[in-house]
Structure 1
Amino acid sequence: MSDVIYVATDRLMNLEETSGGIRSFTAIDTTGNGGTLFSIYLGPTNSTGSPLSMAKTPDGSVYIPIPDYNSVSACEVNKKELQKLQRGETLQLTSPLVDVRTFRIDGVPLAAATSPNGEFVYILSSGLQFISVIDANSQKIIGRIFNVGSFCRQLEVSPNGESLYALGSQGLQVIKIDESYLQRLSQEKSSSGADSAMISKISSLNAEIQKVDVAEVTKWTRALAVSQNGLLYLVNAASSTVTVLHANEPLAPATTIQVENGPVAIAVSRDGALVCTANRVAGTLSMIDAQTNDVTSISVGGDPQAVKISHDGRLAYTANYESASVSIVDLVEKKLLSTIDLDGHAAGLALLEDRASIG
């Protein structure tokens, strides 16, 4: 099962394109010759061509924002049936292969992230300046965090689950989270027996929000990632650099690293030893040694918009929008292993083996 990755795809090529396109949830098998295991239609979208944030909980549910539909789709895959698909067996389904639940989200949902323990999913809405909090077990919206900066587009959770990092054109914000309060609130919502869609007043969460003034944060700062060892990485598309911050209070700039042209996504290995950027303009993957800051770059598919690193740190995957493919890179040998073609433009990634958010 660790050889399955999930991809959010836009504008399926085998359908006539009118205005915008459609967004789908696709699973691909990276073993052997690779290939698509399934593709599920989620909804229409006009936000094609932009990197997409996805989030996955430990039980395998994947949360995918549908900005033009003002919604988030929670996709829960039947893992036993997925294994049958990998083995090439005929399915005899008594329950759906993929159970999709759609959450109506006010504003334009652009980013999703999960808490380290997998209990909560955070959805960032641009324009209305808040974050919706979803209980992953009950799949109910239990509250909102208001007064988040406008035009935020990326969201990450600290390894200890105590902070959210929201990135937007006005800077970086650190949002303090009290998970014990979220757990109590979740229990109250569950005991009420009311579905989240029927709750007229969603709780306003009293979160402490701190704006961080970092010179390197501009409207071209496109992505961020947090390492287990307390470093925060910011990607600047205009200068093609990665800014490294010490994720303490206050955040302290450590260094700036030059990568190839147009980075828009970043991932950090589980042990923090390796950092990878997907460079949209150059069509490359840059691999950064976190100890020495040495950079090695290799070509992947056209217009890579998302990158993820495998749990063991040996492989990286890029979602290539223009070439409608996923590239698999050997991080030890620093070479391209294979490219898997898709029937839709790849905009976001999630790995079945871990919980990391995708963007």
Structure 2
Amino acid sequence: MSLQSFAYVTNVSGANGTVSVIRLSDNIVVQTVPVGGVPFGIAITPNGQFVYVVNSFGSNVSVIQTSDNMVIQNITVGVGPLGIAITPNGQFAYVTNGNDDTVSVIRLSDNMVVQTIAVGDRPFGIAITPSGQFAYVTNQLDGTVSVIRLSDNMVVQTITVGSLPVAIAITPNGQFAYVPNSGSGTVSVIRLSDNMVIQTINVGSTPSGIAITPNGQFAYVPNTSSDTVSVIRISDNMVIQTITVGDAPRGIAITPNGQFAYVANTDDNNVSVIRLSDNMEIQTVTVGNSPLRVAITTITKPLSIPPTLKVTVFNIELTAIVYDNG
């Protein structure tokens, strides 16, 4: 057995959507998993055993078992689900339902929906604080973020941000949330101690995703209409670099060791691999049709052992021949 890292990429186009599984040691797609219609958001349990894929057209969530990448269950949620986040303790998943303005709460021990929470207009992205105490939900059409207290699943506050917020990420120290506003080309920075927007950062056109490095030093924001990724230095919230990637980048995930970012380029049907030490795109990986979101995990997998070569040896009689060199 060995530890191996994989990226799971939702591909939204086609009659039925798929998830591409990329082995990160060599950036090879090792499997394609059929899921539901228009798979959108994706999240992986903290133990790496299960991948939860939100199927927007099916209004359900597919559960993939990572040991063999088989879909073992489909869970019905609200209408038009878009985003998903899993609590740090791995006990619950929260799913944003864009078409009925709710969040479904799934108990992961039995994959049952145990509660439905009303939020804002077209809830889209969602992130949960490292403490597991609050979930932050971006409401795309009313330009707000709903704050859900997870102890009782009550909305305790609504924060106004920019135009058309579609994603959200929280710093590892739990102090700030970063919200890309796709309609205004900005990122709102929320201080979580008082849920105040303390800064607005200009990035590229139509920012549609975000990921923060494990050390909390940088945020990476794909800009769909600019075909770029903006790099924000979190210490001063300055954009320090802009990286050119593929056509219509949307989703992004960063490896647990903080060495690479994987960016889904929706209109190129591939994923850009960015080396974060110098922010260079070093490779593109072809995946399915219209990749949208990415999630990464490290799990224990059996070692790949080459097939045994069976050799049959027959009895051979050898006769020694002595030559006279004399």
Match of residue 54 from structure 1: 42
Select which of 59, 66, 72 maps to 1:70: 59
State yes or no: 1:347 paired with 2:292.
Answer: yes
Relative contact order, higher structure (CA 8 A, sep 6+): 1
**Are the equivalent residues in 2 in contact too, given 1:10–1:24 (CA < 8 A)?**
yes
Q: Equivalences for 1:210-229 in 2 at 5 Å? A: 210-214=156-160, 216-218=161-163, 220-229=164-173
In 1, the alpha carbon distance for the partners of 2:15 and 2:47 equals 30
Match of residue 39 from structure 1: 32
Q: Equivalences for 1:269-280 in 2 at 5 Å? A: 269-280=213-224
State yes or no: 1:25 paired with 2:19.
Answer: yes
> Match of 1:37, as an amino acid?
V
1:125-162 deviation line (CA, Å, top 9, x unaligned)? 22333322222232222x11332223111111111111
Select which of 104, 107, 124 maps to 2:79: 107
Give how far 1:2 is off: 4.2
State yes or no: 1:176 paired with 2:149.
Answer: yes
TM-score (ref. length: structure 1): 0.76
> Match of 1:268, as an amino acid?
I
Give how far 1:35 is off: 2.1
Structure whose residues are more often helix by fraction = 1
State yes or no: 1:126 paired with 2:86.
Answer: no
**Are the equivalent residues in 2 in contact too, given 1:158–1:226 (CA < 8 A)?**
yes
In 2, the alpha carbon distance for the partners of 1:175 and 1:37 equals 38
Match of residue 12 from structure 2: 10
Q: Equivalences for 1:302-341 in 2 at 5 Å? A: 302-341=247-286
> Match of 2:154, as an amino acid?
E
**Are the equivalent residues in 2 in contact too, given 1:6–1:351 (CA < 8 A)?**
yes
**Are the equivalent residues in 2 in contact too, given 1:172–1:217 (CA < 8 A)?**
no
5+ residue gaps, structure 1: 12-19, 79-95, 179-205, 355-359
Alignment RMSD, CA only? 1.9
1:201-225 deviation line (CA, Å, top 9, x unaligned)? xxxxx532134242x333x222211
**Are the equivalent residues in 2 in contact too, given 1:320–1:346 (CA < 8 A)?**
yes
In 1, the alpha carbon distance for the partners of 2:154 and 2:43 equals 23
Give how far 1:350 is off: 0.8
In 2, the alpha carbon distance for the partners of 1:304 and 1:288 equals 17
Match of residue 305 from structure 2: none
State yes or no: 1:282 paired with 2:226.
Answer: yes
> Match of 2:25, as an amino acid?
T
In 2, the alpha carbon distance for the partners of 1:125 and 1:221 equals 15
Cα 1:40–1:233, aligned 2, differ >3 Å: closer, same or farther? same
Match of residue 207 from structure 1: 153
In 1, the alpha carbon distance for the partners of 2:153 and 2:35 equals 32
Between the aligned residues of both structures, percent identity stands at 23
Match of residue 291 from structure 1: 235
Select the structure of larger CA radius of gyration.
2
In the comparison of the two structures, how many residue pairs are matched? 292
In 2, the alpha carbon distance for the partners of 1:227 and 1:240 equals 21
